[in-house]
Amino acid sequence: MDFNNTNHLHGRKRKNESDYESVDCKKKPSIGFKLLEKMNFEGKGLGKYGQGETKDIEVQNPIGRRGLGHHIHSRIEIDFNESEEVKTINETPKWCPPCSRGFEQSKLIDDTWIIVDKPKEVIEDETKYCSSETLTKMLEGKNVFDHMSDREINFARLRANPYETVKGAFFQNRAAMKMANLDKIYDWLLSGEKIKEDRLNKNPLDLKIDELYRKNYDREQPLFYFADVCAGPGGFTEYLLWRKSFYNAKGFGFTLIGDCDFNLNKFTAASPMYFHPYYGVHRDGDVMNPENLISLQQFVGEGTDGNFCDLVMCDGGFNVS
């Protein structure tokens, strides 16, 4: 047998590796390309005059009901490792140094420095305390939220705040937990409940065991008055009424009528019977109207026999879900 003669290999079924390589080098057109080729596609754009995108469409993870062509106004890609985040629990406030009595008399008591004018609805020109560059960047950063859905904002908030899953606990919303946190941070300065034993006796941690041992240490004390302004739906008030317990407090509320109104029927931790909502002389709850504020002051003064409030709370946030 002549091994140099390769004619006997022509009829074999198995091909050499070089044969496969020659086939792979010729890239076969895809089915989609064949269909476009039948419609006279020559690799140009799909426009009438060949204009348009010729590159492959980038793969993006869809968010909500967004489709192709949706423009994301701001997108920041960050490689975030949650395990490396330092999650602190204890918070220590830094107090401002007390001002002199002379400063109080010259600045706080004398109201000639107050300017009453029409409401200002733009802040683009507020560059007295910062540069216009800083202000512009801040506004651009905040404007990103205008183009985001509630679902996207809630998801981002959940990732940004490790304690977001606490939500409202047994209160109606997160605002109540915010006030509870502030009260604890400032050593119970807001509610005045500085004695730990009294706090636990009025609000025991285990209701099944300590319910029969609850005690009211404030029954002989003066009533605790507070005001909750721009406060709908009432999370701050719910916490304070619960903390004071045994209805040793009375609150006065002021907020906008409508979607931001108080939800007294959603008070779960305390009764709203010791809370009096008020909407001003114009009955709209608009805090920007000076006449409403004057009438609120008169209303609170009459309701407290001229003693006014031990605590005034203000928020003004629109999303407290």
Measured CA angle at 62 (ends 56, 68), to 5 deg: 50
Is residue 238 within 8 A of residue 176, CB to CB? The reply is yes
Mean pLDDT of 190-201: 89
Q: For the chain, what are the domain ranges?
A: 168-314
User: Which of 305 and 4 is assigned the larger pLDDT?
Assistant: 305
Instruction: Grade residue 165 by pLDDT with cuts at 50, 70 and 90.
Output: confident
What pLDDT does residue 115 have?
Answer: 77
Coil, helix or strand for 275? Answer: strand
* Packed helices 235-244 and 174-185: angle between N→C axes, nearest 10 degrees: 50
Average pLDDT over residues 65-86: 63
| pTM (two decimals) | 0.70
What mean pLDDT comes out for the span 43-67?
Answer: 69
Average pLDDT score over residue span 109-129: 81
Query: pLDDT tens digits, residue range 256-305?
Result: 998 889 999 999 888 899 999 999 999 999 998 989 999 999 999 999 99
Percent of the chain with pLDDT over 90: 34
Give the pLDDT score at 107: 67
The CATH architecture assigned to 168-314 reads 3-Layer(aba) Sandwich (3.40)
The reported pLDDT for the residue numbered 281 is 96
Nearest residue to 190 via CA among 201, 176, 203: 176
- Of residues 263 and 203, more confidence is placed in 263
Any long-range contacts for 148-157 (C-beta under 8 Å, 24+ apart)? Answer: 149/64, 151/64, 152/63, 152/64, 153/319, 154/321
pLDDT at position 1? 47
Distance CA 148, CA 143 (A): 10
Q: Which residue has the higher pLDDT, 109 or 273?
A: 273
Q: Could you list the beta-strand ranges (E) of 205-289.
A: 224-229, 249-254, 275-278
pLDDT value at position 40? Answer: 72
Residue 210 has a pLDDT of: 58
* Average pLDDT of every residue of the chain: 80
Predicted confidence (pLDDT) per residue in 211-262, tens digit: 566 778 788 889 999 999 998 899 999 999 999 987 789 999 999 998 889 9
**How much is the pLDDT for 102?**
72
